[in-house]
Amino acid sequence: MTTSEQLFEKAKTLIPGGVNSPVRAFRSVGGTPLFIKSAKGPYLYDEDGRQYIELINSWGPMILGHAFEPVEKAVRDAIQHSFSFGAPTRKEVEMAELITNMVPSIEQVRMVNSGTEATMAAIRVARGFTNRDKLIKFEGCYHGHGDSFLIAAGSGAMTMGIPDSPGVTKATAADTLTAPFNDLAAVETLLANNHNQVAAIILEPVVGNMGCVLPEPGFLEGVRTLCDQHGVVLIFDEVMTGFRLAKGGAQERFGIKPDLTTLGKIIGGGMPVGAYGGRADIMQLVAPAGPVYQAGTLSGNPIAMSAGLAMLHHLNEHPEVYTRLDAIGEKLTTGFKAGLQKAGLPYTINQLGSMFTLFMTERPVANFSDAKSCDVAAFGRYFHAMLERGVYLAPSQFESLFTSIALTDDLIDQVIQANEESLLVMMTGSPER
């Protein structure tokens, strides 16, 4: 038995499903999750001493690679001054200033502890602002595990086959309306049928949680226009895309200004952080400036702020990071496409910058039902073949992959080679695990 196997056996007796977040359990790909001991640059190391090239990067935040020196140093410096005060700090002001400079649609921002907290608070303030109850979300988009979002949810909920979670009250579910991603006509119909009742439309401008799905030309613009016409607050969930697709996130890349933006793990450089922010007239409703309540002892935690500030300062001062991230994404997916062609597989690859997914389906993937047409058993075989070759992918077909700038051209070539071999193994139908 490997050390990971031993740890997993014990974990299952102590933690539901043996993990603290469902996708990690490897349920949809089979086998035993790897228990990770450490990571540096482009590599992960498991408890059995094996090294893997990283294509998850903590689901996004490790844009600069693991344990990036300036971030590590900032954390080391910060811990000498204690770990939490539950009182305001200079670093929170610096963080707010940096975020509002890098993402111009954010005029005011409130720090929280995770993307889930950020989205929950963002819809509350949107409801407070509009005096309306309903919310439109898109099938397959995932906005954390707040009750309102566990309707047609992506990510782990989609992977586990539970997009509509038990435990969400009928009343909450009734306030959440859903539309297929990229379907503007469906949004228009929902708005017409729920006249003056919709507080907010929330979406991932580039979806990472049903695999990587891109907005079709005109879709984001159309949603923006509909929100303006109907007095609806537009919320971009940039937990995965913020500071990754561009300095100013997907909204900079597509030139669309949302009313509110939610941010997550990336702004903590991997530490547990989230934030929501946007138009000052909306954010001024948040307590104590206004009556919409939201609070937290660990919000703006000094260690998390220090890590996040070090990473965001680096991104702000080094625009070449984004050129490199785009080049890495292009090179990898060009190599993956060549591998598919060689294997005679007409599968689909979606990519934007450093986010991409190889979907095991012949269909173009533009929404939840396209993504669901994937051959998940084939993905499981492919996943394990890649792992055998030292490449660590997201253990689900329905997640985006994320690269870091630590991925050198040599490593990219290794990943491309592993992909080619793994596609062949996948086709033989025998899992290597």
Contacts of 150 (CB under 8 A, 6+ apart): 157, 163, 164, 165, 168
CA distance 345 to 323: 30
Q: How far is the CB of 265 from ligand HOZ (least distance, A)?
A: 9
Cβ closest to ligand HOZ, residue 222 vs residue 264 = 264
User: Taking CB under 6 A as the rule, does residue 224 contact ligand HOZ?
Assistant: no
Cβ closest to ligand HOZ, residue 277 vs residue 395 = 395
Cβ closest to ligand HOZ, residue 339 vs residue 395 = 395
Cβ closest to ligand HOZ, residue 138 vs residue 142 = 142
Kindly identify the residues of this chain, within the stretch 43-62, that bind ligand HOZ according to CB under 6 A.
59
User: Taking CB under 6 A as the rule, does residue 21 contact ligand HOZ?
Assistant: yes
Which residues does residue 66 pair with via DSSP β-bridges, in sequence order? 41
The span of 17-25, 187-195, 197-205, 349-357 binding ligand HOZ (CB under 6 A) equals 17-25
Q: How far is the CB of 166 from ligand HOZ (least distance, A)?
A: 18
Element of type H or E holding 355: strand 355-359
Which of 7, 11, 23, 256 binds ligand HOZ (CB under 6 A)? It is: 23
- What is the 3 state secondary structure string of 182-239? CCHHHHHHHHHHCCCCEEEEEECCCECECECECCCCCHHHHHHHHHHHHCCEEEEECC
CA distance 223 to 101: 25
- The C-alpha angle with vertex 405 and arms to 403 and 409, in degrees rounded to 5, equals 90
Please identify the residue of the shown chain whose CB is closest to the bound ligand HOZ.
21
Return the number of other C-beta atoms located less than 10 Å from residue 199's C-beta. 24
Q: How far is the CB of 333 from ligand HOZ (least distance, A)?
A: 20
Which of 130, 155, 301, 357 binds ligand HOZ (CB under 6 A)? It is: 155
User: Taking CB under 6 A as the rule, does residue 259 contact ligand HOZ?
Assistant: no
Q: How far is the CB of 147 from ligand HOZ (least distance, A)?
A: 16
Q: Is the peptide bond before 288 cis (omega within 30 degrees of 0)?
A: yes
Cβ closest to ligand HOZ, residue 60 vs residue 278 = 60
Q: How far is the CB of 399 from ligand HOZ (least distance, A)?
A: 5
User: Taking CB under 6 A as the rule, does residue 397 contact ligand HOZ?
Assistant: no
User: Taking CB under 6 A as the rule, does residue 339 contact ligand HOZ?
Assistant: no
Rg of the chain in Å (alpha carbons): 21
Cβ closest to ligand HOZ, residue 292 vs residue 401 = 401
Cβ closest to ligand HOZ, residue 158 vs residue 412 = 158
Residue 132 burial (10 A CB sphere; 0-12, 13-18, 19+): buried
- The C-alpha angle with vertex 295 and arms to 259 and 60, in degrees rounded to 5, equals 60
Distances in Å between the alpha carbon of 100 and those of 105, 277, 288?
A: 8, 9, 20
Residue 337 burial (10 A CB sphere; 0-12, 13-18, 19+): middle
Q: Which backbone phi and psi does 243 adopt, to 5 degrees?
A: 65, 0
Q: How far is the CB of 60 from ligand HOZ (least distance, A)?
A: 8
CA distance 172 to 167: 10
Which of 146, 156, 300, 329 binds ligand HOZ (CB under 6 A)? It is: 156
Which positions are catalytic? 142, 237, 265
The span of 18-26, 176-184, 256-264, 336-344 binding ligand HOZ (CB under 6 A) equals 18-26
Kindly identify the residues of this chain, within the stretch 198-217, that bind ligand HOZ according to CB under 6 A.
209
Which of 18, 24, 235, 378 binds ligand HOZ (CB under 6 A)? It is: 24
Burial code (b: 16+ CB inside 10 Å, e: under 16) for 138-173 equals bbbbbbbbbbbbbbbbbbbbbbbeebeeeebeeebe
User: Taking CB under 6 A as the rule, does residue 225 contact ligand HOZ?
Assistant: no
Kindly identify the residues of this chain, within the stretch 108-147, that bind ligand HOZ according to CB under 6 A.
142
Cβ closest to ligand HOZ, residue 92 vs residue 139 = 139
Residue 3 burial (10 A CB sphere; 0-12, 13-18, 19+): middle
306 neighbors 82 (Cβ within 8 angstroms): no
User: Taking CB under 6 A as the rule, does residue 401 contact ligand HOZ?
Assistant: no
Q: How far is the CB of 157 from ligand HOZ (least distance, A)?
A: 8
Q: How far is the CB of 241 from ligand HOZ (least distance, A)?
A: 12
Size of the site for ligand HOZ (CB under 6 A): 9
Return the number of other C-beta atoms located less than 10 Å from residue 324's C-beta. 15
Residues of the shown chain interacting with ligand HOZ in the complex, contacts defined by CB under 6 A: 21, 23-24, 59, 142, 155-156, 209, 399
